[in-house]
Amino acid sequence: MSGLAPNLPLRSGAEIPVLGLGTSPLQGAESATQVRTALEAGYRLIDTAENYRNEDAVGQAVRDSGIDRSEVFITTKFNRRWHSVDGVRHAYKASLERLGVDYVDLLLVHWPNPDQDRYVDALRGLETVLKDTGLRAIGTSNFKPAHLQRVLDETGITPDVNQIQLSPYSSRKESRAYHAAHGIVTESYSPVGASSDELRNNPVITGIAIEHGKSPTQVVLRWHIQLGLVAIPRSSNPGRIAENIDIFDFELNEQEMSTISGLDRGESVVTDSDAFGH
């Protein structure tokens, strides 16, 4: 293993590891085992959510690991029920209780839910919680540039992070450009594609993997890191968990990065957050 993942600075002053563990859909003992395995492998970013129903298991795994709480960056998310200033306070308190921790490092609005039209108030609530509690950073998930711009126009708030579905098959150029222009860190979920096997078996990826003596998954994750993104791959397989973080001892060259980026299929392969949410 190449050691711990390096960190990226956030607007709030906190730092987020560039590679972490996505924990959906595991729950209970399976989830706790997954998180403990990842922490033992060197992960220090763990991503959970109210809707995953595994915050309790994540918190237990962090406690059982023996690693100091301050060394683990915990992200969680709240759903549409809490999209109000007071609602976010209640959501944060409930997450703290389920996790069994005194603070969360990053709290995200899980989906904008524009049909409900309360995501601007959700960001107002997040900013209030950030100022009044031990919460270290705030963010959004599945927000498009138009959603972020509306929040900025109406509140002046810019989130630390926007977590979006992003892989070589959908590299989200417009979103990444908006984030870069506003100092927002882009975090990639489903970083190896919604169907992991398809991207892992792509001849472009497998060819580059052979050149570097790495796995296809490692090549794809390295692409994310070199684009300046945070990636949170999901796995419950101990071997894959260890493999996914072992990506800091090689580099893709400019041509390889460009070739991988050329696999982009546009926005059609990601879930439309104007039409879906919870």
Catalytic residue list: 52
Q: Which two tokens stand for residue 82?
A: 């809490």
The residue count for the chain: 278
